[in-house]
Amino acid sequence: MLSEVPTDYDILNNWLKNRLNIPSKGDNRLLMNIAKKNAFNHIESIKLSHLRKTDRTIYPIQELKEKLRLSKLPRKIVCLDVSTIGGVDTVSSMVYFENGKPLKKRYRRFLIKTDEVQNDYAAISETLSRYIAKVTPDDVPDLIVIDGGKGHLNIAVKTMNEILSENCVIDKDILNQIPIISIAKKVEQVFKHNHDSPILLPRSSSALRLLVNIRDEAHRFAVNYHRHKRKKRTLASELDKIKGIGENTKFTLLKQFGSVDNIRKATSQELMSVKGIGGKTAQLIKDNLNSS
């Protein structure tokens, strides 16, 4: 019995004296489905045994599959987090874990373009859309984790459904099979689509520790990017206030002194040691920075 029609079916079937059977219904079809499921589980167990020999991080992955009732091992997990203060310089991050370990070359960060002020839902939707638009077949995750509660999960699922209704680079059947969950801070509740109640994993659970680790890494990566953008904007704004100072001069000053604070503390003689800065420009810089 076969699940698919093989190449050169007629020749093979004739050679095997018409013993090939491709059932489409009844008990034989049910038997084929069981065989297919068994084959899939067997391949999963082979992957599992191989990974056990090389890395103990497979245990929380296996537990995660069982506790969340996932169809396959979540060997590739991405987590999304949004960082903003008062809706200024809103950024997001997407960290990538493979076999329980961070794979930093596949980390992604996004400067949110939406005009909606401090709207985490809009930021999540934009991030997920932009990520899926550029994800490659090799990078397709087995699980997507959202930092947040049930509302954050719902907007992620809604966004994924909208993506599936459009033209996708990745096969829609593959995207449709990616499970999405969210994990809320403090209580560490795990929310899963089509589940009314949160999933509460024991504090001792290795699966929960893995999820928290991934969530915290996404938060760290997003916060660091937000700080970088905020610092860059602050530095630029202080120097931009000084009329008569060109971009090259600002760049040279920051390169030599390291920060606006160090420029502020520098003497006129030290400022004049920078190429292109004379006595009048040095005094102009000191007057403006000291007044700010």
> Which residue ranges make up each domain of the chain?
9-54, 65-227, 241-291
Question: Which overall architecture, per CATH, does domain 241-291 show?
Answer: Orthogonal Bundle (1.10)
Whether the pLDDT of residue 41 is over 90: the answer is: no
Q: Return the pLDDT at 182.
A: 96
DSSP string computed for 185-237: TTT--EEETT-SSPB---TT-HHHHHHHHHHHHHHHHHHHHHHHHHHHHHHHH
Mean pLDDT of 167-173: 77
Q: Collect all residues with Cβ–Cβ distance below 8 Å to 277 and sequence separation of at least 6.
A: 249, 253, 271, 285
- H/E element, 254: helix 247-257
Q: Return the pLDDT at 225.
A: 85
- Cα gap 263→285, rounded to integer Å: 8
Confidence of residue 190 (pLDDT cuts 50, 70, 90): very high
pTM of this structure: 0.65
- In the structure encoding, which two tokens stand for residue 36, read together? 């297919």
Q: Return the pLDDT at 57.
A: 60
Confidence of residue 54 (pLDDT cuts 50, 70, 90): low
Whether the pLDDT of residue 87 is over 80: the answer is: no
User: Per-residue pLDDT tens for 193-221?
Assistant: 888 889 989 888 989 999 999 999 999 99
Which residues pair with residue 98 across a beta bridge?
76, 101
* Integer Rg of the chain from CA: 28
Comparing 84-88, 104-108, 247-251, 276-280, the range with the smallest average pLDDT is 84-88
Whether the pLDDT of residue 228 is over 60: the answer is: yes
- In the structure encoding, which two tokens stand for residue 92, read together? 């997001």
* Average predicted confidence (pLDDT) for the chain: 86
Confidence of residue 164 (pLDDT cuts 50, 70, 90): confident
Comparing 4-13, 125-134, 159-168, 191-200, the range with the smallest average pLDDT is 159-168
Tell me if 65-227 shares its fold with 241-291.
no
User: What's the 3-state SS for 105-155?
Assistant: HHCEEEECCCCCCCCHHHHHHHHHHHHHHHCCHHHCCCEEEEECCHHHHHH
Whether the pLDDT of residue 58 is over 80: the answer is: no
Question: Which overall architecture, per CATH, does domain 65-227 show?
Answer: 2-Layer Sandwich (3.30)
Which of 102, 54, 57, 99 is closest to 75 using CA atoms? Answer: 99
Confidence of residue 165 (pLDDT cuts 50, 70, 90): confident
